[in-house]
Structure 1
Amino acid sequence: MNKKYKARIDRAIQYIESNLSNKISLADVASVSHFSDYHFHRIFTGMVGETVNDYIVRRRLECAVNLLIFRTELSVTEIALENGFSSTANFSKAVKRHFGFSPSEIRNPDKIKNSKIGKISSKYGKEFSPSDLYPARVTNEVMNHKIKDTKMNVEVRELDCLRVCTLASERGYELDAIYSAWDRLIDWATNHGIPQDEQQRFALAFDNPTVTPIDKCRYTASIMIDDEVSVRSPFKASEIPKGKYAVLYFNGAPEDALQAQLSLYSDWLPESGFEPDDFPMMERYLNDARVDGYLEMEIYVKLKTL
């Protein structure tokens, strides 16, 4: 893939992500990419795999559904307006069409009687069930056992601003794509004088896989670097922001990691006096699960005071 094309499409995506709650002009998105209006839509569709409009609608709906679940103090109308929909009626129709369930059914999955197959299944091949959005249900029904002594393993840690070199997974949370991104980034760091046993590796997971198709979830591999290290495409220099983080140590089977992550939200956070900040959840890897057969890591959630 042409690096310049990808960089210009990435700029367009960043513009969309920063303006999901506002009215987005397709001409403005094309302008940010520096492609002509006429060709931009074809280039975007070819490289991203969906039209500009489909991408915007999908991302607004994904953000909205997460708010329906995790911000129960907000009304459906408030969530609709906050995510760029002109009315509650338009929002409800869009949610039903995409997910196969209404906003009220998503908030109250026990009351669901019938549902249609939504666009998320027919277009993206992803099965969607509102009950899977709820941490308690995932913990109890899917995992079939509760993580024990989670609160004992959580500490609140102050983190200084960290400069990192990053590389995004090209196919979201698909394991092969994640491993490919890490292999390339680890080789890059080694070639830039950072021995493998000294590399501090962080992963940023931006999306909720119960809502977003796996291949479209955004996952970024990161390794801490010094200020003087030069970074060139396809790698990017970025920062992990200074602040207060909840840190949960995890050591176990990779398939149990989701349970540990959910326990932070369902068990620890409600009693902590904090709420999550807008920065995405991070994982700091302490070993190579492919070599060791188990996963050792720290899970970070940036905090702000309630």
Structure 2
Amino acid sequence: MENQLYRTRINKALKYMGEHLSEEITISHLADAAHFSPFHFQRIYKALQSETPYDTILRLRLEKSVFLLKHYRSKPIAEVAFESGFSSIENFSRQFKKRFAVSPSAFRKDKELQKSRIYQEQNEYDFYYTIEESRREGVREFPVTIEQVEGTPIALVRAFFGADGSGLLESYHHLMEWGEKRGFRLRGERCRFGMSIDDPDVTPVGLYRYDFALAVDRGTEGEGIVEIGEIPAGAYVTLHCEGTITDVAQAWDYLYQVWLPESTYLPLHYPAIEEFVKGPEEIGWEKFDIKCRILVRKGESL
């Protein structure tokens, strides 16, 4: 059984990476963030993450660059490289092509490639296989609104997908039990959330992170693997979806492949949010009733 204290500390290192991708990140920085000795941090990190800290940093920087190339099409590639934390455009281009077998400029031009899970192997246990199947059915249209959302303090538990999609149920139930003991609201709108920390089109399944979150009172303190954060106030592109995992996948495809590119809004670098209107306690895990939300700002037409 994984040590919860170690997992909580490694999560702090991951959080530090995400917040400082455009800066130099050293083992000392990460060890300090995780409250581990630098002499032991790398071995502990690799034991829990199955990759080295520098592997993770490179992967996250490449994922951020994919996000920028997809959604900020007028941004120069050199700027994408530096914002993603690469020391030079040459280094960025080399690492991007090594990972994805295509140059950044070619990726930006190829919209079909942008819709795919970039050169990742599929297998019969791949949680995202059903999502890939849904894409073959064509992109459906959904009604979309822009909603102004107030900031919401949240408690969250991070789930790491296993190769078979495991890891979700345990994390969700842990958070719900934690919230119930403290008297927080567990049903209805604006109380239960899910957030994709990584891009499922880029991140290997076993490394994909998903946060379950619960609205809490401001000033609430975390405990163990339960951390405290906040969903920021702002304008959110919002799509209400009811149906199966295939319907949810098609809803996200519509937002990212059709609605956003044709709009005058730019997605901000904050995780996509799934707000559970009804949760598994009410409708099980086979059906979904969620609001898909993306934090945006007004910008040029893409």
Category of TM-score, reference length = shorter chain:
0.7 to 0.9
Matches within 5 A, 1:51-62: 51-62=52-63
1:127 maps to 2:128: no
**Structure 1, unaligned runs of 5 or more:** 113-119, 129-137
CA shift in 2, pair 1:232/1:94, >3 Å: same
Corresponding residue number in structure 1 for 2:85: 84
Q: 1:221-255, CA deviations, whole angstroms, 9 ceiling, x for partnerless residues?
A: 01112336554222122211122212111112212
Counterpart amino acid of 1:213? P
CA shift in 2, pair 1:205/1:172, >3 Å: farther
CA shift in 2, pair 1:72/1:188, >3 Å: same
Q: Which has the higher contact order (CA 8 A, sep 6+)?
A: 2
Counterparts of 1:38 and 1:165 in 2: how far apart (Å)?
Answer: 32
TM-score with structure 1 length normalisation? 0.81
CA RMSD of aligned residues (A): 3.0
For the residue of structure 2 that corresponds to 1:176, the secondary structure is coil
C-alpha displacement of 1:139: 9.6
The answer to whether the Cα contact below 8 Å between 1:173 and 1:219 also exists between their aligned partners in 2 is no
CA shift in 2, pair 1:292/1:34, >3 Å: closer
The answer to whether the Cα contact below 8 Å between 1:172 and 1:219 also exists between their aligned partners in 2 is no
Number of residues of Structure 1 aligned to a counterpart in Structure 2: 283
Counterparts of 2:298 and 2:88 in 1: how far apart (Å)?
Answer: 32
Corresponding residue number in structure 2 for 1:144: 137
1:33 maps to 2:34: yes
Counterpart amino acid of 2:137? N
Residue 298 of structure 1: which of 284, 291, 294 is its match?
291
CA shift in 2, pair 1:14/1:173, >3 Å: farther
Counterparts of 1:227 and 1:268 in 2: how far apart (Å)?
Answer: 34
Matches within 5 A, 1:201-280: 201-227=192-218, 230-280=221-271
CA shift in 2, pair 1:302/1:104, >3 Å: closer
More helix by share: 1
Counterparts of 2:200 and 2:285 in 1: how far apart (Å)?
Answer: 26
Counterparts of 2:50 and 2:217 in 1: how far apart (Å)?
Answer: 36
Matches within 5 A, 1:175-190: 175-190=165-180
Counterparts of 2:268 and 2:90 in 1: how far apart (Å)?
Answer: 30
Counterparts of 2:132 and 2:206 in 1: how far apart (Å)?
Answer: 24
CA shift in 2, pair 1:80/1:253, >3 Å: same
**Structure 2, unaligned runs of 5 or more:** 123-130
Bigger radius of gyration = 1
Counterparts of 1:229 and 1:89 in 2: how far apart (Å)?
Answer: 46
CA shift in 2, pair 1:77/1:286, >3 Å: same
Corresponding residue number in structure 2 for 1:154: 144
The answer to whether the Cα contact below 8 Å between 2:46 and 2:53 also exists between their aligned partners in 1 is yes
Counterparts of 1:139 and 1:170 in 2: how far apart (Å)?
Answer: 20
C-alpha displacement of 1:297: 0.9
Matches within 5 A, 1:192-203: 192-194=182-184, 196-198=186-188, 200-203=191-194
Q: Percent identity?
A: 29
